């Protein structure tokens, strides 16, 4: 594969996936008993643990080295949380990346293609986060956004099915019959 190619002559990436194929996703909800909500998520070889606490009384915000990630998480979730219901409260979201396997060979950067982070509300199709650290010609923006939206919807379907199965199991376990 040349420096400019991310997709090989057979139409596959270096890891064997097709151009529009997502990495395999696994999700297990409610993995931390002390959190108000939690999940363990794998996408490919990237593994993440998420915990949510709150709403609770507001404390002073601490300055951290992870400002960029914290900003992206805030921009992603602020539009979907009804903050008016939790006046003078805070909701804390903690993420721990247990293993990262995004793009260790930097193929996109070497091929001068953009690295794009997108979050989408699945029902409305509205973007809650759009972050790109490189330049993209305006003619390519629409197809890139369409592909990103399709990826978000595919991920939503996987996570939605996981949550539905989890709730179904909870209801089955709590049933007296």
Please indicate, yes or no, if residue 6 is contained in any of the structural domains.
no
- Number of domains into which the chain is organized: 1
**Contacts (Cβ under 8 Å, ≥6 apart) of 35:** 51, 52, 53
Please indicate, yes or no, if residue 78 is contained in any of the structural domains.
yes
For residue 106, pLDDT beyond 80 = no
Please indicate, yes or no, if residue 159 is contained in any of the structural domains.
yes
Q: What's the pLDDT at 75?
A: 82
Q: What's the pLDDT at 102?
A: 61
Q: What's the pLDDT at 56?
A: 81
Please compute, for residue 130, the number of CA atoms within 13 A of its CA located in the half-sphere on the CB side. Answer: 12
For residue 4, pLDDT beyond 60 = no
| Structure-model confidence comparison of residues 64 and 66, the more confident one | 66
For residue 14, pLDDT beyond 90 = no
Rounded distance between C-alpha atoms, residue 112 and residue 59, angstroms: 42
Q: Count of CB atoms within 10 A of residue 62's CB? A: 6
Q: What's the pLDDT at 168?
A: 95
Name the residue among 46, 50, 40 with its Cα closest to residue 23.
Answer: 46
Q: What's the pLDDT at 28?
A: 96
How confident is the model over 95-114, as a mean pLDDT? Answer: 61
Angle, alpha carbons 105-117-36 (nearest 5°) = 110
Please compute, for residue 41, the number of CA atoms within 13 A of its CA located in the half-sphere on the CB side. Answer: 17
How confident is the model over 139-164, as a mean pLDDT? Answer: 92
How confident is the model over 18-37, as a mean pLDDT? Answer: 92
Please indicate, yes or no, if residue 16 is contained in any of the structural domains.
no
For residue 141, pLDDT beyond 70 = yes
Please indicate, yes or no, if residue 1 is contained in any of the structural domains.
no
Please indicate, yes or no, if residue 68 is contained in any of the structural domains.
yes
CATH, residue 69: 3.30.230.70
Rounded distance between C-alpha atoms, residue 49 and residue 98, angstroms: 7
For residue 63, pLDDT beyond 90 = no
Residue 165 sits in which domain range? 25-174
Please indicate, yes or no, if residue 10 is contained in any of the structural domains.
no
Tokens of 76: 């992603």
Q: What's the pLDDT at 2?
A: 40
How confident is the model over 109-132, as a mean pLDDT? Answer: 76
For residue 13, pLDDT beyond 90 = no
How far is the CA of 16 from the CAs of 12, 29, 45, 119, in angstroms? 5, 29, 14, 25
Q: What's the pLDDT at 104?
A: 42
Tokens of 15: 């890891």
Cis peptide before 55 (omega within 30 of 0): yes
Rounded distance between C-alpha atoms, residue 121 and residue 79, angstroms: 9
- Least confident interval from 37-46, 97-106, 141-150: 97-106
């Amino acid at each position: 594969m040349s420096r400019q190619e991310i997709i090989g002559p057979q139409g596959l990436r270096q890891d064997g996936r097709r151009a529009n194929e997502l990495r395999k996703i696994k999700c297990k909800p409610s993995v931390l008993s002390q959190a108000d909500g939690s999940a363990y998520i794998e996408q490919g070889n990237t593994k993440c643990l998420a915990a949510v606490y709150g709403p609770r009384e507001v404390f002073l915000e601490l300055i951290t080295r992870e400002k960029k990630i914290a900003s992206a998480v805030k921009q992603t979730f602020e539009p979907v949380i009804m903050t008016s219901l939790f006046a003078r409260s805070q909701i804390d979201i903690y993420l721990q990346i247990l293993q990262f396997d995004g793009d260790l060979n930097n193929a996109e950067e070497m091929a001068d293609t953009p690295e794009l982070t997108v979050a989408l509300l699945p029902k409305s199709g509205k973007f809650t986060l759009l972050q790109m650290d490189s330049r993209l010609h305006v003619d390519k923006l629409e197809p890139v956004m369409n592909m990103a939206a399709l990826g978000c919807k595919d991920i939503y379907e996987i996570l939605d099915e996981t949550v539905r199965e989890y709730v179904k199991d909870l209801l089955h376990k709590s049933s007296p019959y």
